[in-house]
Amino acid sequence: MQKYAGRKAYLLSTYKRLLTENNVVLALQNSTLVDEEDRKLRLDLKKAGAQFTVVRSSILRVALRQEDQINNNTEQKNIKPVPVPSSFSQLFKGPTAVVSLRDLEPTQLKSVVSIIDKLSPKLVLLAGVVNGEDKVLFRKELDRLKELPSLPILRAQLTSLLQMAGGQRIVQTLQQPAQTLASDLSRRE
């Protein structure tokens, strides 16, 4: 492992933290933004719950490589690794930036992507990594992901589906062993 001094070491630790603390990391091609565009973009993304970081590609690739090594070592110790596919590091060549989101919320992702699309020729969404997935999600997959309903809505839909006539039988079947155990124990007393 290469040793970095000063600013490079700081950037390396910042990028590692960015990769481990966020559930969604989007890679962007960043053609230089004017100061006013940069300020507005950062403000809009902050309002949407995201963080914009212009990255040094070579240092981020080192951080991704080290995350990959850490993940390979932690899989043997039953520690949940942070999945960052090695193909994700190939996207970071030239002027790039990262948008990170702490939580995977499709409505939040949708607003972030629309903010990025407003600056389309200067800022292009390349791909993203979502925690829990060991693959890179390119633009088509991200567009499908952002159209999903939020997690509470999905839970409500699943609950209503289970409460329907067919679903009620599933719930009864799942509850039956506990009821049988309770009745057996009461008979023994």
pLDDT tens, 104-147?
889 999 999 999 999 988 899 999 988 756 788 888 999 998 99
The DSSP line for 117-186 is HHTTTTEEEEEEEETT--S-EEHHHHHHHHTSPPHHHHHHHHHHHHHSHHHHHHHHHHHHHHHHHHHHHH
DSSP, residue by residue, 53-83: EEE-HHHHHHHHHHHHHHHHHHGGGTPPP--
C-alpha closest to that of 66 among 23, 99, 20, 100: 20
Residues 50 and 99: their CA atoms lie apart, in Å, by 6
Average pLDDT score over the chain: 81
Greatest mean pLDDT among 118-122, 175-179, 181-185 lies in 118-122
Contacts of 176 (CB under 8 A, 6+ apart): none
pLDDT for position 81:
41
Whether the predicted pLDDT of 83 surpasses 80:
no
Residue 152, pLDDT > 90, answer: no
Confidence of residue 75 (pLDDT cuts 50, 70, 90): very low
Task: Give me the count of residues in the chain.
Answer: 189
Q: Is the pLDDT of residue 85 over 70?
A: no
Is residue 51 within 8 A of residue 99, CB to CB? The reply is: yes
Dihedral angle sign, alpha carbons of residues 142, 144, 150, 152: negative
Instruction: Answer yes or no: is pLDDT of 1 > 60.
Output: no
